Amino acid sequence: MKLEGRLWLNQGEKPFLGEGRIELLRAVDTHGSISAAAKSIRMSYKAAWDAIDAMNNLSDRPLVARVTGGKGGGGTRLTEEGFSLIRAFDLLKAKHAQLLQLLSHNGTDLDAVLKTAQRITMQTSARNQLWGTLTRIKQGAVNAEITLTLRGQTPIVATITNDSIESMGLKEGDEAYALVKSSWIILSREKPEKISVRNAIESTVKEVIEGRVNVEVKLETGGGNTLAAVITEDAQKELGFKPGEKAWALIKASHVIIGA
């Protein structure tokens, strides 16, 4: 895979400057008229004027100015602002090219970068998104028990259907993510000795955020992973979680959603 990209600058929410417009400005400097500049870069006269008007309107000072009179009967020229902008763009373009080269040839795993970007930009209503490696898939007649090992070697178990495994093409060693709603997490001060909940994750209370009805308790589970659980005010009054204290996050395997 080869990484490529083009440089484009916006002014606020409006497009301002890119390769095409820089080429137009250079052509205006060379030919001294909008029509000749547009023709030389195979752009329509109207498109050229629209682009110049847009740049002039978005710039602090005009980039292109009309010249009246003179031996040639007038024309168009670049202002000092226009020349400065071309120089600045050329500098940015060079830095941009260096960055692309660095990412492409300095041992960067582009596939890994893309996967990370996909995870970061993923939108879901689930409060907790955890990334890890599938270390165990135990299939039954209908459902399968999957173990996802997170950073810090924290395991989390999920129950999904065999059809889901087949449709997602899951296999041991694959990377995957677990989604857990904050309301699905049960908190305990001690690890229950006998409990039907498949996941009992030892954690440290990071933060307690009081609300009008519910309380959000943020937990650190090791390896840089965090969980957010929502409990009632009454539960918080009874349990009295404080930052720095130990807590156990209890999650049913059926409440863990697996994605890949």
- Read off the pLDDT of residues 206-242 as tens digits, 9 standing for 90 and up: 989 888 789 999 998 887 788 889 999 999 999 999 9
Bridging pattern class, strands 246-251 and 186-188:
antiparallel
Q: Which residue has the higher pLDDT, 94 or 116?
A: 94
Dist. CA 13–CA 185, nearest whole Å: 41
In percent, the amount of the chain with pLDDT more than 70 equals 85
Mean pLDDT, residues 67-94 taken together: 80
Dist. CA 171–CA 210, nearest whole Å: 41
Domain covering 8-105 assigned CATH 1.10.10.10 in the classification = yes
Q: Which residues contact 212 (CB under 8 A, 6 or more apart)?
A: none
Structure tokens at 62: 């005009």
* Domain range list for the chain: 8-105, 117-259
Q: Which residues contact 126 (CB under 8 A, 6 or more apart)?
A: 179, 180, 181, 257
Q: Residue 28, class by beta-carbon neighbours within 10 Å (0-12 exposed, 13-18 middle, 19+ buried)?
A: buried
Residue with tokens 């307690």, as numbered in its chain? 208
Q: How confident is the model at residue 108 (pLDDT cuts 50, 70, 90)?
A: low
How many CB atoms lie under 10 A from the CB of residue 182?
17
Q: How confident is the model at residue 203 (pLDDT cuts 50, 70, 90)?
A: very high
Task: Please tell me the predicted confidence (pLDDT) of residue 99.
Answer: 75
Is 117-259 in the same CATH topology as 8-105? no
Dist. CA 251–CA 26, nearest whole Å: 63
Dist. CA 167–CA 169, nearest whole Å: 6
- Read off the pLDDT of residues 137-186 as tens digits, 9 standing for 90 and up: 999 888 999 999 988 889 999 999 999 888 888 899 988 888 899 899 99
Q: How confident is the model at residue 96 (pLDDT cuts 50, 70, 90)?
A: confident
Average pLDDT, the chain: 84
| Topology (CATH level 3) of domain 117-259 | OB fold (Dihydrolipoamide Acetyltransferase, E2P) (2.40.50)
Task: Please tell me the predicted confidence (pLDDT) of residue 193.
Answer: 82
Task: Please tell me the predicted confidence (pLDDT) of residue 67.
Answer: 75
Residue 69 has pLDDT above 80, yes or no: no
Task: Please tell me the predicted confidence (pLDDT) of residue 244.
Answer: 92
- Judge if pTM exceeds 0.75: no
Residue with tokens 């440089």, as numbered in its chain? 7
Task: Please tell me the predicted confidence (pLDDT) of residue 75.
Answer: 81
How many CB atoms lie under 10 A from the CB of residue 53?
11
Dist. CA 52–CA 55, nearest whole Å: 5
